[in-house]
Amino acid sequence: MVLDAELRDRGAFLDVRSPFTGEVIGEVPRDGPAEAAAAAAAVRPGKGTLAPEERAALLRAAAEALAQRREEFAVGITREAGVCLKESRREVERACGNLLVAAEEATRINGEALPVGTGGSRKLALTVREPVGVVCAITPFNRPLNQVVVKLAPALAAGNAVVLKPSEKAPLSGIAFVQLLLETGLPPGLVAIVTGEPTEVGPALVQSPEVDMVAFTGSVETGEAVARAAAPRKLLLELGGNDPLIVLDDVDLPLAARLAADGALATAGQSCRGVKRIIVCDDVADELVPLLVALAAEKRSGDPLDPETDVGPLIDQAAAELVQRRVEDAVAAGAELLLGGGRKGAFVPPTVLDRVPPDAELVRRETLGPVAPVIRVRDEDEAVAVSNSTVYGLQAGVVTGSFERFLRVAHRLEVGAVNYMESPSFDSPHIPFGGVKRSGLGREGIRYAIEEMTSVKTITVPRPWP
């Protein structure tokens, strides 16, 4: 059910504003703890009600309907999140792909048959995966459609029910997607939506006795608070990253510069797996940095609905102010500002800094903005040490002409994934996604998320053969 008027009184609303114009483009109910608890109690797990093939058919139907409405959804993402239209279109395609993979995986949730025997007793142990029950999915403002899909698609594929809390800053795409699910055949009672301020509805959701699992994407601090509040429920946490692109001294410099510029500036830098630190060996830094500056200078800022725009606004002015302050602090600590700097409203221009101290807040913490900070290091060993020096460990990219060297560095990096001759941004619905250290707990990626969103039951029966 979606925003069911019978569940709650809609006396208060939250405005949803365009990050580009500041105008109100929609409103959603400002739910409170009572409404959150009612929504969690209203959904019912789908165990036994939908066969795997039926779940697969529903997800395929949703993918087809979303593809038919791709431009409508892309424009909606851009309007509420400020993401450039060219990137919003890619986000819709990614969401369609995730739905199709989830449809495939819905029919591949398998167990094992294990012959066991102790004390002369011969048994056959059968393991089966069952849905955990009700999944509370809490999603952020960046990727407001796909972040919802990567939680709902595996949850539904596994037979769970979901109560969704989309970001209050960009909730409209997620709501529209759930409405699309219902229009394409999802039975009522498998999904509910809660909208409102996180501090008002979050605790009631994650502590609800009806909720069996919490799947959360957001900041480290909020995620750790969610984990404490949700205990002992099952958790799937994606808590962001401080992802490095490591450029060693035996590289294709134009490729490295392109990876650095595209990875740092895409989505206005508001991606958990975007390039947050460019760690470059001294021997090639003087050649790489001018190439990076030139590529960043070519990026067009402006109206995100213009198909030619490369960098749109940040989600709001407060986010831009934070990025501006961190850039200024890095310059005060010795970094060289080579391009950009400053801000106008929610806009931060493409910004490149060189010789950034590794302990500057700009690169020590996750900074969501269109900033390409270069950290110079002596050699491979220092590159690894600097990369590992933060509390985050999500993804990394390594650019080197030696595959053996790449494998050596990859083994030493404290991250969930390392990409060869590629930025940290690479993703696929077929591979696991998640971090180590304070970057999260568990793995997304459709098949891996299904494993997280199911529990293993063991059944033993007599085994009449040896």
Residue 225, H or E segment:
helix 220-230
Choosing from 91, 238, 366, 444, the catalytic residue is 238
Pairing of strands 417-420, 395-399: parallel
Q: Mean per-residue pLDDT for 66-77?
A: 98
Model confidence pLDDT, tens digit, residues 35-58: 999 999 999 886 667 999 999 999
Pairing of strands 24-29, 395-399: unpaired
What Å distances lie between residue 24 and 14, 16, 79, 208, CA to CA? 10, 6, 10, 32
Task: Tell whether the model's pLDDT for residue 148 goes beyond 60.
Answer: yes
**DSSP conformational letter for 10:** -
Tokens of 406: 């790449």
CB 440 within 8 A of CB 434: yes
pTM value surpassing 0.85: yes
CB 460 within 8 A of CB 119: no
Q: Where are the domains of the chain?
A: 13-240+435-459, 244-420
What Å distances lie between residue 30 and 14, 56, 135, 175, CA to CA? 6, 34, 21, 14
Residue-level pLDDT at 46: 67
Residue-level pLDDT at 3: 42
Q: Mean per-residue pLDDT for 406-412?
A: 98
* Choice among 61-65, 101-105, 278-282, 460-464 with the minimum mean pLDDT: 460-464
Instruction: Please give the Cα distance from 216 to 163 (Å, whole number).
Output: 12
Task: Tell whether the model's pLDDT for residue 1 goes beyond 50.
Answer: no
* Residue 72 annotated in active site: no
Backbone phi and psi for residue 252, each to the nearest 5 degrees, phi listed first: -80, 100
- Yes or no: domain 13-240+435-459 corresponds to CATH 3.40.605.10: yes
Residue-level pLDDT at 117: 84
Residue 400, H or E segment:
none
Task: Tell whether the model's pLDDT for residue 6 goes beyond 60.
Answer: no
Task: Tell whether the model's pLDDT for residue 386 goes beyond 90.
Answer: yes
Model confidence pLDDT, tens digit, residues 261-310: 999 999 999 999 999 999 999 999 999 999 999 999 999 999 999 999 99
Model confidence pLDDT, tens digit, residues 72-123: 999 999 999 999 999 999 999 999 999 999 999 999 999 999 999 877 789 9
**Whole-number average pLDDT of the chain:** 95
How is 431-466 classified by DSSP, letter by letter?
S-B--SGGGEES-BSHHHHHHHTEEEEEEEEE----
Choosing from 84, 96, 136, 272, the catalytic residue is 272
Could you tell me where the DSSP H helices lie in 69-207?
70-81, 85-106, 146-157, 172-183, 198-206
Nearest to 256 by CA among 86, 50, 400: 400
Tokens 């939908």 correspond to 50
Residue-level pLDDT at 44: 86
% of the chain at pLDDT higher than 90? 93
Task: Tell whether the model's pLDDT for residue 221 goes beyond 70.
Answer: yes
Instruction: Please give the Cα distance from 82 to 73 (Å, whole number).
Output: 13
Between 391 and 9, the higher pLDDT residue: 391
Q: Mean per-residue pLDDT for 401-424?
A: 97
Model confidence pLDDT, tens digit, residues 335-375: 999 999 989 999 999 999 999 999 999 999 999 999 999 99
Residue-level pLDDT at 425: 93
Task: Tell whether the model's pLDDT for residue 2 goes beyond 50.
Answer: no
Is residue 11 exposed (0-12), middle (13-18) or buried (19+ Cβ within 10 Å)? exposed
Nearest to 253 by CA among 278, 289, 297: 289
Residue-level pLDDT at 47: 60
Could you tell me where the DSSP H helices lie in 18-51?
33-42
Instruction: Please give the Cα distance from 244 to 56 (Å, whole number).
Output: 37
What Å distances lie between residue 114 and 117, 243, 420, 466, CA to CA? 10, 41, 38, 13
Q: Mean per-residue pLDDT for 375-385?
A: 98
Residue-level pLDDT at 185: 95
Instruction: Please give the Cα distance from 160 to 361 (Å, whole number).
Output: 40
Residue-level pLDDT at 220: 94
Residue-level pLDDT at 5: 39
How is 323-374 classified by DSSP, letter by letter?
HHHHHHHHHHTT-EEEE----BTTB---EEEES--TTSHHHHS---SSEEEE
Residue-level pLDDT at 465: 85
Residue-level pLDDT at 119: 72
Question: What is the three-class DSSP state of 412?
Answer: helix
* Residue 366 annotated in active site: no
Instruction: Please give the Cα distance from 413 to 437 (Å, whole number).
Output: 12
Model confidence pLDDT, tens digit, residues 169-203: 999 999 999 999 999 999 989 999 999 999 999 99
State the fold for domain 244-420.
Aldehyde Dehydrogenase; Chain A, domain 2 (3.40.309)
* Choice among 38-47, 142-151, 159-168, 301-310 with the minimum mean pLDDT: 38-47
What Å distances lie between residue 31 and 138, 165, 227, 344, CA to CA? 15, 10, 22, 33
Residue-level pLDDT at 8: 43
